[in-house]
Amino acid sequence: MEIFYSVIAFLGGLAMFLYGMRVMGDGLKSSSGGAMQAALAKVTNRPVMGFILGMLVACIIQSSTATIVITVGLVGAGFLTFHQSVGIVLGANVGTAITAQIIRLMDVSSGMDSPLYFFKADNLAPLALTIGIVFIMFLKSGSYKTAGNVACGFGILFMGLIYMSDVVSGFGESLSHLLTAFSNNYALGFLSGIFVTGIVQSSSAVVGIIQSIASSVGVSFGAVFAVIIGVNIGDCLTTYLVSRIGAKPVQRRTAMVHVIYNVFAAILCFLLVFIGRSTGILNNEFWNATLNSGGVANIHGFFRLVPAVVLLPLTRVFESIAYKLAPDEPMEEEDKNAIAALDALDERLFTSPALALDQAERVVIEMSEIAAHNYDAAVQQIYNFDPKRSGRIETRENLLDRMTDATNKYVVSLSPYVTREIDNNRQNIVLKSLICYERIGDLAVNIANEVSALRSENKEFSDTALQELRIAFDAIYEILDITSRAYREKNSVLAADVEPLEEVIDDLVEDLNGRHIYRMVNRLCDPINGIFYQSILTNVEHISDKCSDLAIYIMESKNADIFGNEHSYVHELHHSNNDRYLKAYERDRTKYIDALDAIPKIKPPAEKYPESGEPDKPAEEKSKKTEKKDKTDKSGKNEKIAKTGRFKIK
């Protein structure tokens, strides 16, 4: 039973470790991170600088495992690229060995007199948790709460490591025996080093066990060198297995390159020992000499430092192998197009601002497609719910956020190079358009979330409500399409058709809310359903508002008088006798409001109205702004949205 409870305790520590990694990664991802990302990029773009950074971090926190796990989290959050992470991974391998040497030279071991004692995991973890919870509970600023989440994730991660280490510490005597049981069998000694380190999850701890054995009974170089090489492999295997759980392909590659490097390093170490033994450099006197604790630390440091220096120029080779072993998952076509657009944001184009803005506009166009696809997917969830589709919606939302951040940073960085008024106007329009499409993506996610919440309550809309919503959804499909085409073609005439349709959508939403209130008052609608219904309508209306904003931005690119006076322009347009606007408004109203009127209302039971048997007209029903026109030539235009949607969604 003791083993059973030990396994449960170990799994609990692993759960804490994984959860801490997730919390820390989410906190980093939700932060703006611009300054941090820029600083990391400057340091890590060159493998040597990344190597030094990884070495210093591992030296400070005394754990190559924690350093690499943090690096994997930074890669997943987008702060580091895979290429930038490789140097850090190599440096982290050396950092723990340097820490051991520093502690040994200072003769402070793990005592409180050492300045490094502050950075021990069992001190950092509670400190990080304390800081994190203070930030979350007592500071109102969103940035402090984000920092608090990162700190809590960091603390939980380390607590998990400490907990797992405590569980295996009770087996120290058995592990010590295992490490020295194969002194004359190098292969088994190598495997024992891998196995024990895989259990303890700390190369420093295992080397410490060997040092304690050396101090008490003494060990020879020939007896422990293979074990120490195995320790290095065992250290990276555990990190890889932990880091790959639930990780993205790029994160798995970062963990994989740690394994690849250590395999190469192990081969190199065995070759060095073989060459030294063959040439007599490692003579019998050295081979059989008894090592003390310091000697073990020196061998460990040698096997960490020398391979790192020799193999650092081969980082590109390690990257290539990692790509083959952990390839990217198959990408959707829209993802490929989005990434290609982001890759085209080249700062070398800054000397030609017009070309640079062309690339930024290309990103906006891709965002318009992704936002429209996410809206369509959200609509499909109402009529044909699919949990897998929810995951794709979330993926698109993350992509939209990434595109917004990257393009916003690119366009702002372009500012010192913009000298012409026309380029300055384009720059402003791009920045405002980015926000609009990012917001449309958010609103689509809101609709999908409302649908998921509705299903979690085991509720569903009535057939009448679904028919009504289809008309509103159809109108949004059209306004998104017009806006996207107008932006792509820079067509201000087409953009002018957006505002009258937006007004009709406002009328439509008002009528739908009136019908909803009628059902609520007459108890024909479930109150819970009504809440979700109204929330979806609110998001629908806000999408049309954002399309209206985008259309105004497109028109002001052709009409300088609109720039800076957008609100006044829209207000005057609504109260003018503009013939084009009025005709478009009448056309769209006939198309959508008449379609809504064609849907019969649910009538209350006749006994509610004993005199007439018919319900009174609800007070909120609006008078018609126009007479209904003959719709014989419009057959099919108001057909319900097909369940498969207007866009191809996977």
pLDDT tens digit sequence for 178-213: 555 666 678 888 888 888 777 766 676 677 667 666
- Identify whether 369 is part of a domain: yes
Burial 156-187 (b: 16+ CB within 10 A, else e): bbbbbbbbbbebbeeeeeebbebbbebbeebe
In a domain, residue 152? The reply is no
In a domain, 111, yes or no: yes
Please determine, for residue 433, whether its predicted confidence score (pLDDT) is greater than 70. yes
**Residue after which a domain boundary falls, among 304, 325, 346:** 325
Q: Do residues 416 and 547 both lie within one domain?
A: yes
Pair 303, 208 in one domain:
yes
Co-location of 347 and 279 in the same domain: no
Q: Is the same domain home to 387 and 485?
A: yes
Regarding whether 362 and 231 lie in a shared domain, the answer is: no
What is the pLDDT at residue 373? 94
DSSP state letter for 220: E
The CATH number assigned to the domain holding 418 equals: 1.20.58.220
- 374 lies in a domain? yes
List alpha helices for 244-352, DSSP H. 249-279, 284-288, 293-311, 315-325, 333-343
Kindly state whether residues 357 and 209 are assigned to the same domain: no
Distance CA 650, CA 644 (A): 10
Query: Do residues 305 and 339 both lie within one domain?
Result: no
Chain segment 54-100, per-residue pLDDT in tens: 888 777 665 677 778 778 877 776 677 788 888 888 888 888 776 55
| Distance between CA atoms of residues 8 and 345, nearest Å | 50
Which of 301, 325, 349 is the endpoint of a domain?
Answer: 325
509 part of a folded domain: yes
Q: Based on the fold, state whether residues 621 and 491 are members of the same structural domain.
A: yes
Report pLDDT digits (tens) over 347-380: 888 988 999 999 999 999 999 999 999 999 999 9
- Same domain for 560 and 578? yes
Same-domain pairing of 268 and 379? no
Query: Could you give the number of structural domains in the chain?
Result: 2
Is 253 part of any domain? yes
Q: How far apart are CA 48 and CA 309, in angstroms?
A: 10
Residues 174 and 208 in one domain: yes
- Most confident among 121-125, 420-424, 507-511, 632-636 (mean pLDDT): 507-511
Helices (H), 107-216: 121-138, 142-169, 172-180, 186-200, 203-216
What is the tens place of the pLDDT at every residue in 218-243?
A: 677 887 888 888 888 887 776 677 66
Q: Final residue of a domain: which of 270, 301, 325?
A: 325
Mean pLDDT over 510-514 rounds to 90
Q: Which of 216-225, 416-425, 560-569 has the highest mean predicted lDDT (pLDDT)?
A: 416-425
Q: Which domain holds residue 215?
A: 31-119+170-325
Does a structural domain hold residue 160? no
* Residues 360 and 502 reside in one and the same domain: yes
Assigned domain for 650 exists: no
Res. 39: pLDDT tops 60: no
